[in-house]
């Protein structure tokens, strides 16, 4: 069955009687034209409503033909009446009665009209209309002036406005025979309000067709989201703005679940074979406690989410037995739905997770809460970045400290050597030597190694040349020219480098010759003179090295001094919106005492195991540059600042994480406030993003109060179901009835423990499905009664 069905509850098939007793002419009626019109416009529900008369024969034969094209024809009549002002208007009455009763009704109407016709004025008075309503199951549709009809060519807003009037009771203003309602009917008939309504609105939802060769001219393109039956129409007028629409305003949905097929995988399977049909709009899963509602929710999730999806893992344990069944989902094109191929939103039980997080005080539990609210949230993002930088700083500091140590050793060694040399020179001060200072040996601009490496560029040039030869002439010539220029330039530069190096090398050789000659002269004087000459020669180098090391040491010390090893909490802490403009925020903070009152001996920032016995319990403020350096230096001195130690820094530090709803910490909020805020935000988000085509929610009403369900949740569901397929598990009568599901899925647990599911529309003609809903949703009898009171009268389901 289609979800939306074309409806026309006002069509003429035979000559009628006008209000003035004249003949109301019908043109071009034939069964052929009638059926073709229904077929062409795919009318699924129609009513034959001739003017002031009922031709039961036509009704019966048309009904039979229409049935062959799956169109339901209802029995009706268009009646003339007067307001108290004397102004004439029409209304259409459509009946649902057994054949015998229709037979009697037809006879009554026809006889009444006949007798009225004699007077020259066919008018049914209020009392006669009320008699009809008292005795028959009827829908009354006031029929205004079509030339002024609001819905002649309605836009969406006009249509919705008109449909709101339907909801206010204007389609079925006449109802059950209780006295107060009769009084109300009378007052409505005479009221100014009703008069306005008559002019503006009327029965222009339907064709009022009289010409069967031109049905299309009168066809209103009017659709109904309900079974194409009398009951379906009744059901639809309880929520007209959602259930009626002209074709262009019918929501178009894609990528939704149209069918679930469950099969037993083994004899141990506890879910019986079944096929569950779903609507593209709002599907409501109902059933008694423990019947398997949440199980079905799980089975759907299991079929459309990835196996490792977090939202599944929490449920797997509870429904392990479901593995004995195979579940296949189909989309609207009847294609099997593969996991992760449909964008699916899942409303979650956030309060339970908040309770867990508050109880365990485990940050990860609070991050699970955050994940429900914002899937893209990256925990500890700022903290992780800070720790990485801090580790790098510590490693740089460690390298500098090590360098200072090594320089210190080098300076000491050179100093010792210098002192020894001075002592020897003092002892040899009277030994004559031939002194001649040779200038410092010049250093090469490029080492021989460097020159060798640079020369490899020549090989590269050769390689490029060879490769270029593969190119076509047009591409090659320009590149070869550029390469040739480069080769010349490089060759010149290389020669220049080599020449300069050779010059320096020649100078060095000259100096070596002079030095060797001087040593030769001194060695001819004495052995001591040789020694003195050697020491004098080497001292220059020692002094030079010493000076260099001292200078380096100075720089390193300055570097160490300038190093900032403090911990800035501002670089760790963060707060902000979890969901923009929702009032849902978060904060992540490091414990300030951990940083500002750090016990050097034992703390969770640094690994102190193994050196604790060498440390006291002194407290340092790590946010202070000076004190933090003292702490790090202490660890360095105790050999506890190796790369391994640095890698463990902050490893055991956890952050304080909090979530706030409208500036109030969720841990301090009650379940109702949390759930309300979450539901509202969740759906607002879904409506804004519009990415998810299927939204599932298990027991949405949990923890929230009735006013919220009535005022907010109904509105949310109403908006959401126009955009996505909704599948909601509920126990709540308002969610199950007043939110107006198009389709119900009932979970039934048999006496043998087996579970089965069935899907149905509440307006079914076959059995009173509302009674079934009333039976398995606590408190729904009253809600159903209230919902249908205006339209349906005192039906029996509430008493059953």
Partner 1 sequence: MLKIEILRMNEGDEIRLRINDEEKAFNYDTIDSLIDVFVNMAPNELDIVCPDDLELDNYKALLQNVFNEVQKDDFKNTYNSLKKSETSNDQIMGLFKNQNSK
DSSP state of 599: E
CB of 102 to partner 1, least distance (A): 9
DSSP letters for 689-758: H---SEEEEESTTTT--HHHIIIIIHHHHHHHHHHSEEEEE---HIIIIIT--SEEEEEEE-TTS-EEEE
Alpha-carbon distances of 161 from 171, 615, 715, rounded to whole Å? 14, 81, 17
CA-nearest of 587, 258, 542, 577 to 424 is 542
Helices and strands in the chain: count of H runs, count of E runs: 27, 24
Q: Which of these ranges, 63-71, 379-387, 505-513, 671-679, lies near partner 1 under the rule CB under 8 A?
A: 63-71
Closer to partner 1 by Cβ: residue 29 or 351 = 29
Please state the length of the chain: 800
* Residues in 165-194 that interact with partner 1 by CB under 8 A: none
Q: Which of these ranges, 56-64, 87-95, 319-327, 728-736, lies near partner 1 under the rule CB under 8 A?
A: 56-64
Q: Per CB under 8 A, does 99 bind partner 1?
A: yes
Q: Report residue 196 as tokens.
A: 């306005």
Closer to partner 1 by Cβ: residue 103 or 194 = 103
* Residues in 2-41 that interact with partner 1 by CB under 8 A: 30-32, 35
DSSP state of 27: B
Indicate which single residue of 22, 42, 64, 800 sits in contact with partner 1 (rule: CB under 8 A): 64
At a CB cut-off of 8 Å and minimum separation 6, what does 761 contact? 226, 227, 232, 742, 743, 744, 769
DSSP letters for 755-771: EEEEEE-TT-SSS-HHH
Distance between CA 47 and CA 545 in Å, rounded? 112
CB of 220 to partner 1, least distance (A): 24
CB of 116 to partner 1, least distance (A): 20
The C-alpha angle 282, 285, 287, rounded to 5 degrees, equals: 150
Q: Per CB under 8 A, does 275 bind partner 1?
A: no
Indicate which single residue of 85, 86, 100, 430 sits in contact with partner 1 (rule: CB under 8 A): 100
Indicate which single residue of 18, 21, 56, 411 sits in contact with partner 1 (rule: CB under 8 A): 56
Task: State whether the Cα torsion 395-400-404-407 is positive or negative.
Answer: positive
Indicate which single residue of 42, 107, 148, 254 sits in contact with partner 1 (rule: CB under 8 A): 107
Tokens 């409505």 appear where? Answer: 188
Please tell me whether residue 188 adopts helix, strand or coil conformation: helix
Closer to partner 1 by Cβ: residue 68 or 127 = 68
Closer to partner 1 by Cβ: residue 100 or 437 = 100
Indicate which single residue of 18, 83, 88, 103 sits in contact with partner 1 (rule: CB under 8 A): 103
CB of 255 to partner 1, least distance (A): 27
CB of 304 to partner 1, least distance (A): 27
Q: Per CB under 8 A, does 553 bind partner 1?
A: no
CB of 68 to partner 1, least distance (A): 4
CB of 217 to partner 1, least distance (A): 22
Q: Per CB under 8 A, does 67 bind partner 1?
A: yes
At a CB cut-off of 8 Å and minimum separation 6, what does 129 contact? 79, 81, 140, 174, 185, 189
- Helices 350-360 and 671-689: crossing angle in degrees, nearest 10, is 130
Indicate which single residue of 15, 58, 653, 654 sits in contact with partner 1 (rule: CB under 8 A): 58
Q: Per CB under 8 A, does 377 bind partner 1?
A: no
CB of 63 to partner 1, least distance (A): 7
Distance between CA 326 and CA 713 in Å, rounded? 34
CB of 678 to partner 1, least distance (A): 47
The answer to whether 598 and 621 have CB atoms below 8 angstroms apart is yes
The C-alpha angle 362, 368, 373, rounded to 5 degrees, equals: 135
Closer to partner 1 by Cβ: residue 39 or 423 = 39
Indicate which single residue of 15, 18, 21, 63 sits in contact with partner 1 (rule: CB under 8 A): 63
Alpha-carbon distances of 178 from 141, 175, 380, 800, rounded to whole Å? 20, 8, 67, 20
Tokens 């320009």 appear where? Answer: 478
CA-nearest of 166, 186, 162 to 174 is 186
Closer to partner 1 by Cβ: residue 14 or 748 = 14
* Residues in 610-639 that interact with partner 1 by CB under 8 A: none
Q: Per CB under 8 A, does 263 bind partner 1?
A: no
Q: Per CB under 8 A, does 57 bind partner 1?
A: yes
Indicate which single residue of 15, 18, 21, 61 sits in contact with partner 1 (rule: CB under 8 A): 61
Tokens 């009320």 appear where? Answer: 130
DSSP state of 469: T
Q: Which of these ranges, 99-107, 382-390, 403-411, 560-568, lies near partner 1 under the rule CB under 8 A?
A: 99-107
Q: Per CB under 8 A, does 68 bind partner 1?
A: yes
Q: Per CB under 8 A, does 213 bind partner 1?
A: no
Closer to partner 1 by Cβ: residue 37 or 542 = 37
Q: Which of these ranges, 5-13, 97-105, 340-348, 677-685, lies near partner 1 under the rule CB under 8 A?
A: 97-105
The C-alpha angle 628, 634, 637, rounded to 5 degrees, equals: 140
- Total residues contacting partner 1 (rule CB under 8 A)? 20
DSSP letters for 317-334: GGGGGGGGEEEEEEETTS
Closer to partner 1 by Cβ: residue 107 or 121 = 107
Q: Report residue 630 as tokens.
A: 């003292």
Closer to partner 1 by Cβ: residue 99 or 422 = 99
Closer to partner 1 by Cβ: residue 29 or 797 = 29
Closer to partner 1 by Cβ: residue 57 or 441 = 57
DSSP letters for 471-490: S-HHHHHHHHHHHHHHHHHH
CB of 164 to partner 1, least distance (A): 35
CA atoms within 13 A on the CB side of 75: 25
CB of 69 to partner 1, least distance (A): 7
* Residues in 431-490 that interact with partner 1 by CB under 8 A: none
Q: Report residue 321 as tokens.
A: 């037995």
Indicate which single residue of 2, 27, 42, 69 sits in contact with partner 1 (rule: CB under 8 A): 69
CB of 109 to partner 1, least distance (A): 14
Distance between CA 599 and CA 645 in Å, rounded? 17
Closer to partner 1 by Cβ: residue 74 or 594 = 74
Closer to partner 1 by Cβ: residue 98 or 317 = 98
CB of 146 to partner 1, least distance (A): 29
The answer to whether 499 and 491 have CB atoms below 8 angstroms apart is no
Closer to partner 1 by Cβ: residue 138 or 257 = 138
The answer to whether 328 and 304 have CB atoms below 8 angstroms apart is no
Burial category of 317 from C-beta neighbours within 10 Å (exposed 0-12, middle 13-18, buried 19 and up): exposed
Interface mask toward partner 1 for 118-137; x: CB under 8 A: --------------------
Residues of the shown chain interacting with partner 1 in the complex, contacts defined by CB under 8 A: 30-32, 35, 56-58, 60-61, 63-65, 67-69, 98-100, 103, 107
């Amino acid at each position: 069955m289609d979800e939306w069905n074309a409806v026309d509850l006002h069509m003429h098939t035979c000559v009628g009687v006008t209000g003035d007793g004249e003949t109301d002419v019908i043109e071009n009626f034939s069964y052929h034209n009638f059926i073709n019109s229904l077929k062409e416009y795919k009318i699924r529900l129609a009513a034959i409503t001739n003017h002031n008369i009922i031709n039961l024969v036509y009704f019966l034969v048309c009904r039979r033909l229409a049935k062959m094209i799956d169109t339901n024809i209802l029995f009706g009549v268009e009646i003339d009446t007067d307001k108290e002002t004397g102004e004439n208007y029409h209304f259409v009455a459509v009946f649902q009665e057994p054949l015998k009763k229709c037979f009697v009704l037809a006879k009554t109407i026809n006889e009444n009209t006949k007798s009225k016709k004699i007077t020259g004025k066919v008018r049914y008075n209020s009392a006669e209309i009320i008699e009809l309503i008292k005795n028959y199951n009827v829908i009354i549709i006031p029929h205004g002036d079509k030339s002024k009809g609001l819905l002649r060519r309605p836009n969406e807003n006009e249509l919705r406005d008109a449909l709101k009037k339907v909801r206010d009771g204007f389609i079925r203003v006449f109802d059950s025979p209780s006295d107060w309602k009769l009084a109300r009917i009378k007052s409505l008939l005479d009221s100014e309000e009703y008069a306005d309504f008559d002019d503006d609105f009327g029965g222009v939802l339907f064709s009022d067709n009289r010409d069967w060769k031109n049905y299309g001219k009168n066809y209103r393109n009017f659709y109904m989201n309900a079974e194409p039956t009398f009951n379906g129409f009744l059901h639809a007028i309880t929520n007209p703005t959602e259930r009626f629409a002209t074709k262009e305003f019918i929501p178009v949905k894609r990528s939704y679940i149209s069918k679930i097929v469950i099969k037993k995988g083994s004899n141990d399977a506890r879910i019986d074979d079944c096929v569950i049909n779903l609507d593209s709009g709002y599907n409501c899963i109902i059933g008694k406690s423990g019947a398997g509602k949440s199980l079905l929710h799980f089975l759907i999730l299991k079929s459309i989410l990835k196996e490792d999806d977090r939202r599944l893992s929490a449920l797997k344990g509870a429904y392990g037995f479901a593995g004995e069944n195979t579940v296949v989902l189909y989309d609207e094109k009847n294609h099997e739905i593969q996991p992760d191929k449909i964008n699916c939103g899942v409303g979650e039980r956030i309060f339970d997770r908040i309770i867990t997080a508050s109880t365990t005080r485990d940050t990860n539990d609070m991050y699970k809460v955050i994940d429900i609210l914002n899937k893209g949230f990256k925990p500890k993002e700022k903290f992780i970045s800070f720790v990485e930088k801090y580790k790098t700083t510590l490693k740089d500091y460690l390298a500098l400290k090590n360098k200072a140590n090594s320089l210190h050793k080098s300076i000491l060694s050179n100093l010792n050597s210098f002192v020894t040399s001075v002592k020897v020179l003092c002892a040899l001060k009277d030994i004559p030597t031939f002194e001649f200072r040779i200038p410092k040996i010049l250093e090469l601009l490029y080492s021989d190694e460097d020159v060798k490496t640079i020369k490899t560029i020549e090989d590269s040039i050769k390689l490029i040349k060879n490769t270029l030869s593969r190119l076509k002439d047009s591409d090659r010539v320009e590149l070869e020219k550029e390469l040739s220029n480069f080769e010349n330039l490089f060759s010149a530069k290389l020669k220049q480098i080599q020449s300069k190096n050779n010059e320096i090398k020649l100078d060095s050789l000259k100096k070596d010759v002079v030095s060797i000659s001087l040593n030769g002269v001194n060695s001819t004087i004495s052995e001591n003179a040789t020694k003195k000459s050697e020491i004098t020669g080497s001292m220059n180098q020692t002094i030079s090295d010493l000076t260099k090391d001292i200078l380096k040491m100075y720089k390193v010390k300055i570097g160490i001094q300038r190093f900032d090893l403090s911990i800035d909490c501002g670089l760790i802490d963060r707060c902000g919106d979890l969901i923009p403009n929702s009032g849902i925020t978060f904060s992540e903070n490091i414990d300030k005492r951990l940083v500002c009152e750090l016990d050097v001996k034992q703390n969770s920032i640094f690994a102190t195991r193994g050196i604790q016995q060498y440390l006291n319990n002194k407290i340092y403020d790590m946010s202070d540059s000076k004190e933090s350096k003292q702490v790090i230096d202490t660890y360095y001195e105790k050999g506890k600042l190796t790369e391994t130690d640095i890698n463990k820094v902050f490893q055991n530090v956890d952050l304080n994480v909090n979530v706030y709803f409208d500036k109030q910490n969720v841990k301090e909020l009650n379940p109702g406030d949390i759930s309300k805020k979450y539901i509202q935000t969740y759906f607002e988000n879904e409506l804004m993003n519009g990415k998810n085509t299927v939204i599932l929610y298990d027991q949405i009403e949990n923890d929230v109060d009735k006013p919220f369900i009535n005022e907010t949740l109904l509105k949310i569901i109403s908006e959401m179901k126009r955009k996505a397929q909704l599948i909601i598990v509920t126990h709540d009568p308002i969610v199950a009835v007043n939110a107006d599901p198009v389709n119900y899925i009932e979970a039934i647990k048999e006496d043998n423990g087996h579970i089965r599911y069935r899907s149905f529309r509440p307006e079914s003609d076959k059995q009173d499905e509302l009674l079934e809903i009333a039976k398995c949703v606590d408190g729904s009898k009253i809600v159903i009664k209230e919902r249908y009171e205006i339209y349906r009268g005192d039906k029996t389901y509430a008493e059953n």
